[in-house]
Amino acid sequence: MSLPLDRTRVIEWTEGQLGPAASSMLGDLGADVIKMEPPGRGEGGRHMMSVMGRLISGLPEGPNYFFEGNNRSKRDITVDITKEEGKEIVYRLVATADVFLTNYRQQVTSRVGLDYKTLSQYNPKLIYAAGSAFGPDGPDSNHRGFDYLAQARSGLMTSLGEPGMPPLVAAGAISDEIGAVFLSYAVVIALLVREKRGIGQEVNASLLGSMIAAQSQNVTASTMVGAEFAKHDRARAGNPLWNHYKCADGKWLAFGMLWSDRCWPDFCRVMGIQHLQNNPRFVSEETRRANSAELISILDDIIITRPRNEWLQILDEAISRGADIVYSRLNTISDLADDPQVMANDYITTFKHAVLGDIKMVGLPYKFGKTPGAVGGSQHREAPGLGQHNEEVLRELGYTGEDIAALESKGVI
C-alpha cells in the first residue's frame, strides 16, 4: 500500500529540532527525505544529549532520544557545502527534488548559495521551505532563536499556570514541534498548488507565528475585546465541573462538562451528593460559579477517598447506563505509554530499531483510510548514521565509485 507522499523527494539542510522534525513528518508520510550534514561532526542534534540530557532536562544518560525522534524516516549524506564540489552535489540533488527544507537563517542561506533564488535556478518547480525563529520579515527576521524564546515572545509563558504565578515554561520544546507541524503543512499545500498550477515557490513558517496561531482563541480575544483569558484557578474554578481533582493514589481526574446544568443531576448521583442537587447554592451554573470554592472543596474531599482506577470504573459504568458525564484521566507524560486509548490508536507505537531493538516512539496523530503513513516512512528507517547513505545517494546522481572515493579523499563528503 502506498503512502501519501510516495515519489516525493525532500532535501533537508537543517539543525536542531524545527527543521528536522518537519522533514521527519514528511518522511513518515512516505517522502524520500535526504538529510545533508557537514562531514565529521554532523549537525548539532547529534550532540544534544550533552545539553538536553544533563544540563536542562535532568534526564539520565541513555540513547539520543532527541536525534532519534527528530530524524527517523530519512537517508543521510555528508556534504561540505563550503567546497565547490560540495555545492555541485547539492545542486544536482536539488534538480531531482520536490522540496528543499532548511531552518538556517536567511543571511546564512544567501551567503552559502542555498537560498531560494539560487536553488530555483536549478529547479524552477522547487518548493523551498524555510523555518525560522521569528518570521521571514521584520527587524528580527535574522535573529537566532529557540523554543524557549518563542514561548517567551508569543505570550505562552504568561498564560500557563494559576493566577499569581511567574511566567512558566512548557517542557519538551513544543514551539519547535508546533512550528514543524505548520512548516510541513505549508510544504504539503505548496505541493498541492504545484500539482494544480505547475509552479514552485518559497514557503515559510516560524516558531513565533506558529505559537501565536496555536493560541488563536486567546490572541483573538485580546485583539477583539481587549482582554486575555483568565488563568485557571483550580481552587476557585468558575465551573467546578470543568476542573481537575486529586484521587487517593495521588493521580488526578479531569472533568469537562461545559454545559454543566445538563450534567449536574447525573454528576450528583454518581458522586453520591444527591442532597446537593437542588441546594440553592449549587442548583444552577450561576450559583455554582458564585459558590465554586465551597463546591470544589466538597468534591476534593469526596474524590480523594478512592484511587483513580476505582473512579474510572464508576464513571465508565455510569456512562454505559446513559449518565451525561464528560471526564478524562489526567496523565503525566510517563502515563501515556500505558494509556489504553493512546495505544489503541498507535499514538505511541513500538518501533523496531536496528540497533536499539524494540523501542516506544510517538506515532502518527492522523490516519488515512487508503494511503496510511508509517513511523519510519515507507522504508522503516530509524534515524540514520552520519553519512550512512553517501554512496547510495551519490550513485543515484550519477557519481561513480571512483568519483565518490575522490570526494572522500578531498573531504567533500
CB burial readout 155-184, b (16+ within 10 A) else e: bbbebeeeeeeeeeeeeebbbbbbbbbbbb
Q: Which CATH superfamily is domain 9-217+346-409 in?
A: Crotonobetainyl-coa:carnitine coa-transferase; domain 1 (3.40.50.10540)
Which of 363, 303, 293 has the alpha carbon at shortest distance from 327? 303
Is it true that 9-217+346-409 and 234-330 share their CATH fold? no
pTM score above 0.85:
yes
CA dihedral 140, 144, 150, 153 (to 10 degrees): -40
The CATH architecture of the domain made up of 234-330 is 2-Layer Sandwich (3.30)
Q: Is 261 helix (H, G, I), strand (E, B) or coil?
A: helix
Around Cβ 343, how many Cβ atoms within 10 Å? 16
Domain coordinates in residue numbering, the chain: 9-217+346-409, 234-330
Listed in order, strand segments (DSSP E) in 154-210 are 201-206
For residues 259 and 268, what is the distance between their CA atoms, to the nearest angstrom?
Answer: 15
Taking the CA atoms of the chain, what radius of gyration do you get in angstroms?
A: 26
In tens digits, the chain (413 residues) has pLDDT values of: 689 999 999 999 999 999 999 999 999 999 999 999 999 989 988 987 665 555 556 677 777 888 999 999 999 999 999 999 999 999 999 999 999 999 999 999 999 999 999 999 999 999 999 999 999 999 999 999 999 999 999 999 999 999 999 999 998 899 999 999 999 999 999 999 999 999 999 999 999 999 999 999 999 999 999 989 989 999 999 999 999 999 999 999 999 999 999 999 999 999 999 999 999 999 999 999 999 999 999 999 999 999 999 999 999 999 999 999 999 999 999 999 999 999 999 999 999 999 899 999 999 999 999 999 999 988 899 999 999 999 999 999 999 999 999 999 999 99
How far is 3 from 368, CA to CA, in rounded Å?
Answer: 9
Backbone angles phi, psi at 118, to 5 degrees: -75, -50
